[in-house]
Structure 1
Amino acid sequence: MADRTTDRLLHALKAAGPQTAGTLAGRLGVTAVAVRQHLDGLAAHGLVAHEDRREGVGRPRRYWGLTAAGHARFPDNHAGLTVELLEAISGVFGAGGLERLIAHREAATLAGYRRRLAAATTLAGKVRMLARLRTEEGYMAEWRRDADGSFMLIENHCPICAAARACQGLCRSELGIFAAVLGAAASVTRVEHVLAGARRCAYRIEPVATGIDRSRRGRKLRGPARASRSMPAMPRLR
């Protein structure tokens, strides 16, 4: 099996979740027969597994997805060493010391993000740049704008997953970083979470009207303000 094809196949399953051989063939630009051969090879190595799903009338469709070993093929930022260091810090300096470490990392990360997002003048531009930064850090991030005007930031891989399981303050910190870097004009909510059993982390980002925006909208609803005029005095009849 060609290494490049294997990597592309694993990447497609990581980025989009379980898929049929036909869907994967369309993504990779190869035949479904070739994809099935590669999937069989990956399954033999324990990297993928399949699940048959019944969708309406007819035969079930076979979906292929990554196993735990398949997910482990992606970078994990030296997970074992990171977990050991976190445990050592907590053991030596206590919970307070670990919280100070998280706060220091949060401040440094936020400062770096703010420098990179400084040129973005719209919320869409900020979300786009944030997704790019997270991808550079190994999160395989993507973003989209939904019909209601909100945005989704989706992270298909968590390179700090082992550390986050050992210290969930890291996840809390990341949510705070997103909210801070996007500013008061956005509300950020985590809607999918790897640590809660989801296959990825996803965040809904909703625009928030500022005080100025609300004031302008209120004036539009009420109509333009008009200065009151006093009625001229009626001439006295003689």
Structure 2
Amino acid sequence: MSASTSGQTLFLLKMRGPQTAQQLALLLDITSMGARRQLEAAQEKGLVAFEDVADKVGRPSRRWQLTATGHARFPDRHADLTLELIGQVKTLFGDDGLDKLISARERSSEAAYGKLVDPQLDLAQRVERLARVRDGEGYMANAEAQDDGSILLVENHCPICAAATACQNFCRSELAIFQRVLGKDCQVERSEYLLEGGRRCVYRIIPIGT
């Protein structure tokens, strides 16, 4: 398989989570055998692993997913430098200094989002605009409308994961920032959280007052 197909396979597993070879074959427009060969090649490199999941009917299905090494192919932005800076700020200025730095980052992010998300747009358009902004920041984000009227803001990657893991306050106020940017006609809830064992971070935006 070509390098492009290899990259597409990893990208699909990152964006969609565990998939069977048949599912990947359909998405990649290749044969099931071709998809299995692609997955086996990635497995040899330690990028993917599988789990046999029992279905209600018939034999178990083999679901492939990224390993930690596979996820690392979608890098944390400047992870080593970020961790070093966090350590230096704590050493020089203590936890209070680090807290002030994080608060300044939050204000900057909220101001930037506020300029790009027009409050005059309808809610779905606002969420879509916010998803595009976050996608541009490396979060591999998209918006997904739900049958119950809510909208999911899905972030398949965290480009500051090392920093957030070292200091969870880096993502402590995303809910509040998203709430203020999106407006008072909705409620924002976190339904999946990467740092609590989730595959990704997902925010559910629920319309209110309609």
Supply the distance in 2 between the matched residues of 1:147 and 1:119 (Cα, whole angstroms): 24
The answer for the alignment partner of 2:110 in structure 1 is 110
TM-score computed with the length of structure 2 as normaliser: 0.96
Amino acid at match of 1:149: G
Determine the structure 2 residue equivalent to 1:169: 169
What TM-score, normalized to structure 1?
0.85
Residue correspondence of structure 1 range 178-193 to structure 2 within 5 A? 178-193=178-193
Residues 67-107 of structure 1: per-residue CA shift (max 9 Å, x gap): 00000000210112111111211121111111111111111
Which amino acid is 2:96 matched to?
A: G
Distance 2:207 2:47 in 1: 40
The CA deviation string for residues 212-232 of structure 1, in whole angstroms up to 9 with x for no partner, is x7xxxxxxxxxxxxxxxxxxx
- Say if 2:119 and 2:183, in contact at 8 Å, map to a contact too: no
Q: How far apart are residue 34 of structure 1 and its match?
A: 0.6
For 1:152, what is the secondary structure of its paired residue?
strand
Partner of 2:95: 95
Give the counterpart letter for 1:80 in structure 2.
D
Counterpart contact for 1:175–1:190, Cα < 8 Å: yes
**Which residue does 2:18 correspond to in 1?**
18
Shift of 1:120: 5.1
Partner of 1:54: 54
Per-residue deviation at 1:190? Answer: 0.6
For the residue of structure 1 that corresponds to 2:138, the secondary structure is coil
Alignment partners' CA distance in 2, 1:120 and 1:155:
24
**CA drift at 1:61:** 0.7
Using the alignment, how far apart are the partners of 2:153 and 2:34 within structure 1? 33
Residues 29-85 of structure 1: CA deviation (Å, up to 9, x unaligned): 111111111111000000000111110232111110000000000021011211111
What are the equivalent positions in structure 2 for 1:1-238 lying under 5 Å apart?
1-118=1-118, 121-209=121-209
| Identical-residue share of aligned pairs (%) | 50
- Aligned partners of 1:46 and 1:70 also within 8 Å: yes
Q: Is the 8 A contact 1:154 1:201 kept in 2?
A: yes
Partner Cα separation in structure 1 for residue 17 and residue 96 of structure 2: 38
The offset of 1:143, in angstroms, is 1.3
User: Shift in Å at residue 118 of structure 1?
Assistant: 2.2
RMSD, aligned α-carbons? 1.3
**Cα distance in 2, alignment partners of residues 198 and 120 from structure 1:** 33
C-alpha displacement at 1:173, in angstroms? 2.5
Where 1:206 maps in the other structure, the secondary structure is strand
Instruction: Tell me the matched-pair count.
Output: 210
